[in-house]
Amino acid sequence: MTRRRLPLGILGLMTLVLMSLGCGNDDHGGSNSFLFENNAQFNGGRTVRWPRLPIRVFLGNGVASSGEVTVWTSASGGAVTFTFVGSAGSAEISYAFRSGTDICGVTQLEFLDSGEITSARVQVSQAIYRGPQCVRTVTHETAHAIGFLSHTSDGGLMDDDGGNGEITAPVSQMFRDLYSLAPGTVINSERRRPLVERRGGGRNVMTFIHPVRH
């Protein structure tokens, strides 16, 4: 099966807006390159995660199922936990439908310079997100909503097109490591700024797109 990757200049595999990338003087766990590559590099080497658990989730009245979310509790060895609420207004992560069949789903994540995630909004394409052209869209997007800020290329669920749908061991371990550290913990003082635009106001916004498979 041929997989189509969306053109970087149009939708992009991942687009993001960051602001005020800082770095500290000391590294914590600087050898943890996977955590750096898929999380901390987007905040100047500092971890980005929800500051408090359980994370409040609104499933969108049937858009997502609780099992598609709590799989990350199992995968992280209990490091990430969730509670479910009855409205988007009281939620930290919310799910909703979008129209169209161009992509499977999209997540917009906001976090502060301190590394604290403040909100995540997941939209899935109602017509196709449970079809064969989309792989575990809700679970894939949930990973972005809890701090997986990149895509893998190992054939697993966190590939940009969902791969084979399996959560790989490095991804599971990253969440164990991430949620054992406070938000903003420096794990590597190296700065990297892929696709970065500076914006005032102190808020950082990242948008992740889950392509359709062809």
Domains of the chain are 14-211 (3.40.390.10)
Over residues 105-109, mean pLDDT: 97
Q: What pLDDT score was predicted for residue 31?
A: 43
| Residue type present at position 20 | S
The confidence score (pLDDT) of residue 63 equals 98
| Among 10, 16, 11, residue whose Cα is nearest residue 193 | 16
* CA atoms lying within 13 Å on the CB side of residue 122: 29
% of the chain exceeding 90 in pLDDT: 71
Query: Has residue 193 got a pLDDT over 90?
Result: no
Residues with Cβ within 8 Å of 213's Cβ and at least 6 positions away in sequence, in order, are 1, 3, 4, 132, 133, 134, 135, 161, 162
- Going by pLDDT thresholds of 50, 70 and 90, the confidence category of residue 72 is very high
The predicted pLDDT at position 24 comes to 32
Query: What does the mean pLDDT of the chain come to?
Result: 84
Task: Identify which has the larger pLDDT, 17 or 34.
Answer: 34
- Choose among 47, 51, 21, 49: nearest CA to 36: 47
Joined tokens for residue 65: 């199922």
The yes-or-no verdict on residue 183 having pLDDT over 70 is yes
pLDDT of residue 13: 31
C-alpha 108/C-alpha 120 separation (Å) is 6
**Alpha helices (H) in the chain, listed in sequence order:** 33-38, 66-75, 137-145, 169-178
Least confident of 12-16, 26-30, 153-157, 198-202: 12-16
**How many other CB atoms sit within 10 Å of the CB of residue 102?**
14
Averaged pLDDT, 121-135: 97
pLDDT at 80 over 90: yes
Distance CA 165, CA 196 (A): 29
Among the ranges given (11-20, 138-147, 200-209), the one the predictor scored with the smallest mean pLDDT: 11-20
